Amino acid sequence: MSPSTAVCSILALGFLLSATNADPISKILDAYPDFSKLNQLLVSSGIDQLIDKEAAVTILALDNDEIEKLSGLKKPKEMEDIIKAHVARDYYDDVKLRHLNFGQPQEVVNMLQSNGTKQGFLKIIRTEDGITFQSSGRPSNPSDAKFVDRIYARQFSVSVLKISHTIFIDGLTGEFVPADAPISTKTAKAPAAEAPEEVVAEVPNEELPEAAPAPGPEADDDAAADAKSAAGKATFGLATVIIAASCIAAAL
């Protein structure tokens, strides 16, 4: 065996031994408490064993807050698919990301690739705002998930990268709306002003004196008749007095 062949054999053997004795992903993430919920999800779903079998893998890690948010909205099977979509079957660390061609999407396969849909592919793009991750077939958007920091890297084998939030995956996740998203400037129609209720003042219930009834036509006729009767009686009395006086004078 030539010296060069022997050296290559030794290097290959060393590489295989190192790969065989490499720490599983669950043990790697044990050292990072901010990703404990992600680690629990990987172990409970068995995804950690799939990751350990990969020759080269990159985990786009979601922190505890993001996992908790998703857990409150998604069923267990949906959660598993979302996590699989965040595991790229290739090696990318921060150095490799910074050397991507500017503005040219790099398409990678994730662990959902077996379902034969666009969910099984991710795009990595180096932009002016940093490194972004998005579902394949989806146009760039300001709300795309962004690279935050490298958490762990075993060169050419396993990489764990923290990203800002969940990657939007058609049919799996909802659209991410950043907290500083601009508020719509459309003016809402003001509700129609209600007419003020009519206020009716309450008048004290005091007894008013009864008004005397106005005299009617019959009352006027009765009064006239009474007047004529009185005048007649006066005339008759005067005539009687005159006659009596005349008789007395004649007798004398």
Give CA–CA dist 161/142, Å, rounded. 20
Question: Tell me: the pLDDT tens digits for 54-85?
Answer: 999 999 999 999 999 988 888 889 999 999 99
Domains and CATH numbers, the chain: 19-163 (2.30.180.10)
Give CA–CA dist 181/185, Å, rounded. 12
Backbone angles phi, psi at 109, to 5 degrees: -90, 140
Give the DSSP letter string of 2-69: -HHHHHHHHHHHHHHHHHHTPPPHHHHHHT-GGGHHHHHHHHHHTHHHHHHH-SSEEEEE--HHHHHH
Of 5-14, 82-91, 114-123, 241-250, where does the model show the most confidence?
82-91
- pTM for this predicted structure: 0.62
CA-to-CA dists, residue 60 to 25, 82, 83, 92, angstroms:
13, 11, 9, 10
Question: Tell me: the pLDDT tens digits for 6-49?
Answer: 545 555 544 444 444 489 999 999 999 999 999 999 999 999 99
Question: Tell me: the pLDDT tens digits for 177-196?
Answer: 444 444 444 444 444 455 55
Question: Tell me: the pLDDT tens digits for 205-228?
Answer: 544 445 444 444 444 444 444 444
Q: Which distant-in-sequence residues (6+ apart) come within 8 Å of 144 by Cβ?
A: 132, 133, 134, 167, 168
